Homo-oligomer: A and B are copies of this chain.
């Protein structure tokens, strides 16, 4: 028996977009180029660096492009991502998740030794100690940044005194080198809402960072780097004198989350979309497309946004189905192809091994999402 070609989701270069099998997530290369450049101009004008987050794309080609464009290196969310980035030629990596267990600490030291520049993140004495011990044992010095809780209430030591005590603890460890602080500001969009709200919340973040820098420097420890400013807040944090590097991630693609949070983002800037086909129209006002939570991720809010139509609404997602309200649509039939901006770029990027890049309605690139699919 002859076997068929199985589900090789890597399309041939040059394939017309209209002929790609669905569901498939694709990237608009022109939009990505614009998005990469826009933040470079923003940062240049403000005199700050950009240290983008590779968790948003997990693609070494893009990470190297970002490093070349902006100067500082990148942030990686996971040890496995940092390994991939260093192995594929990224020179300056900060790992922004603590590593506390034996075998993973050994891997972290490999990354530290093979990057041109490396730092890892801590936020409490419990994750300083194992790192200091293994670095000392292996005779290596590891750069360290402290996460300060600027309002997210996830990880992060308290600003000011809390952070300065932790910095002093780090300074006592001969195998660690204190580099600076990071304040993750992902709480701002929900708290901010309006331009004035964003300005107020970002000023609040900057206050906490300034207070922390003062407290640490009062102990005689210079704070070389202060990182803050996500994709939604970069334009506000860039103006704050305390910030030395912005850390946006999703701005490369933009997505429905940024579309909802940032008035300056337009659908045309949203580079990551899913191509779908209508597979069922069981009622007059409901159609079902072939992209659900296993293609887009189960992130339920916001919904995927139709890229080119205003008369259909994507109102629900189950594992393999997308639910459309087509009551207001003029003609939606089984077999129709529809394109939607993804809810949140992190989700689909984490679900696909390859990402076709589209230009002039054809596949011009197929990127390997090489840092994907690795838990540890």
Contact = CB atoms under 8 A, between A and B. Distances in A.
Nearest to A3: B87
A352 B334 contact: no
A65 interface: no
A373 interface: yes
A350 to B, nearest CB: 5
B290 A126 contact: no
B4 A318 contact: no
A155 B321 contact: yes
Contacts of A319: 55, 77, 346
A103 B8 CA distance: 13
Contact of A154 (B288, B295, B298, B374): B288
A23 interface: yes
11 contacts: A6-B83, A9-B375, A77-B320, A97-B279, A97-B290, A100-B277, A100-B279, A124-B334, A126-B278, A130-B335, A352-B373
Contacts of A127: 279-280, 334
Contact of A114 (B1, B156, B297, B321): B1
A318 B154 contact: yes
Interface string A207-225: 0000000000000000000
Residue from A98, A130, A352 with most neighbouring chain B CB atoms (10 Å): A98
A282 interface: yes
A107 interface: yes
A257 interface: no
B346 A279 contact: no
Interface residues of A, number: 74
A230 B231 CA distance: 42
A49 to B, nearest CB: 24
A282 B300 CA distance: 29
Q: How many copies does the complex hold?
A: 2
8 cross-chain pairs, A with B, having the tightest CB-CB distances, nearest first: A126-B334, A7-B80, A7-B374, A98-B279, A21-B376, A4-B110, A155-B280, A298-B298
Interface string A1-27: 101101101000000000001111100
A156 B101 CA distance: 50
A124 B333 CA distance: 11
Contacts of A83: 4, 6-7
Given A6-B83, A155-B321, A297-B298, A101 B282 contact: no
A24 B294 CA distance: 19
A255 B27 CA distance: 35
Contacts of A335: 100-101, 126, 130
A323 interface: yes
B155 A347 contact: no
Nearest to A347: B298
A266 B368 CA distance: 42
A157 interface: yes
A104 interface: yes
B280 A78 contact: no
A149 interface: yes
A54 to B, nearest CB: 13
